[in-house]
Amino acid sequence: MVKLRNVTKVYRTGAFGGGKLKAVEDVSLSMEQGKVVSVIGESGSGKSTIGKMILRLISITEGEILVNDKDISKLKGKSLKEYYRTVQGVFQDPFSTYNPVFKADRVFDIIRAEYFSDMKAKKWREKVESSLQSVGMVPEQVLNKYPHQLSGGQLQRLLIARALLMDVDVLIADEIISMLDASTRVDVLNLLIDLKDRGLSILFITHDLSLGYYISDYVVILYRGSIAEMGYTDKVFYNPIHPYTRMLLTSVPRLDQKWEESEEELMETQEIAADSLEDRCKYYDRCHFAAESCGKPELKKVEEGHYTTCPRR
């Protein structure tokens, strides 16, 4: 359904755009219908950039993105507008999406004006109420309310309901629960799982390993804009190959271990420096297993449904 082929995104930097920053480099991945693919990595790894490119919020520099076998980079005007009937995004901060001087359900009115202007008022209200009910909300409790009268979880559910009004096939969920409290997080995660079971494909962008494990069928571990490891969730989490993946899993605090012990273990794997990473693995300067023989990595198969770019594996 969604395929990224050798996608690269380069930003121009500096006062006159003379510098270059590779936010994403040579990324290839696929999303199947009714599956959740989690893109996991630390801040600055390029996770959100991938989501924004799929949503056409920013352009790609190289490669191609195919949705239902169509190259979306060439869509313009009416074709691009129609594209948003099938692909929508929900982002990290639900509060910034709403104008505090308008009622929260104004986000539905905008969709109606753009895509359903010919629909009768009664039928539109029924469609909105059905969408709200599909995300576990009672219409009477959230409609005609201002953003400050609703919780962060309610506002985020409203945005998911807005996306579902379009009958979308793909949802880009970019850190959508990172600003919610723990109890609300579980509700939103279970909602996404329910939507997946109904056939929705979800790209779940997160820095939290536990969330990725809980919700995803397939995970992509991203580091400095490149794929370090990817595969079916259980295979990556129970048989991590790339040293970066192993470091991430080690860094998750455990109830039976003092945090100081974990930090000391991590420090041992992060003190190798390299003069240049241009022709090397991007994790070379932090890798405990780094050697002079480590060249520029290529994605290779470890086992069925499991891939890594570690040059020594």
What span, in angstroms and rounded, lies between the C-alpha atoms of 2 and 202? 10
**Residue carrying the six token digits 């990172």:** 178
- The answer to whether 232 and 36 have CB atoms below 8 angstroms apart is no
- 172 has pLDDT over 70: yes
Summary mean pLDDT of the chain? 87
Asked if pLDDT for residue 94 goes beyond 90, the answer is no
Q: Is the pLDDT of residue 132 over 60?
A: yes
Residue 36 has pLDDT above 70, yes or no: yes
Global pTM value: 0.88
The three-point CA angle 135-141-142 to 5° equals 65
232, β-bridge pairs = 218
Q: What integer pLDDT is reported at residue 19 of this predicted model? A: 82
pLDDT interval class at 16 (50, 70, 90): confident
Interval 88-92 mean pLDDT: 90
pLDDT at 278: 66
pLDDT for residue 117: 92
**Which pLDDT does position 273 carry in this prediction?**
43
Say which CATH architecture domain 2-86+168-308 belongs to: 3-Layer(aba) Sandwich (3.40)
Are residues 218 and 232 in contact, defined by beta-carbon separation less than 8 angstroms?
yes
Asked if the model's pLDDT at residue 27 lies above 90, the reply is yes
- In percent, how much of the chain has pLDDT > 70? 91
Residue type, 137: M
Residue 277 and residue 256 in contact, taking contact as beta carbons nearer than 8 Å: no
Residue 180's pLDDT is what?
79
- The span from the CA of 173 to the CA of 91, in Å, is 6
Please give the average per-residue pLDDT across 292-302, as a whole number.
81
288 or 27: which carries more pLDDT confidence?
A: 27
Q: What is the pLDDT of residues 108-117, one digit of tens each?
A: 999 999 999 9
Question: How does pLDDT run across 236-251, given as a tens digit for each residue?
Answer: 999 999 999 998 888 7
The dihedral region occupied by 227, where left means phi > 0, alpha psi between -120 and 50, and beta the remainder, is beta
Q: What is the pLDDT of residue 257?
A: 64
Categorize the per-residue pLDDT at 254 as very low, low, confident or very high, splitting at 50, 70 and 90.
low
Terminal CA-CA length for the chain:
30
Domain ranges in the chain? 2-86+168-308
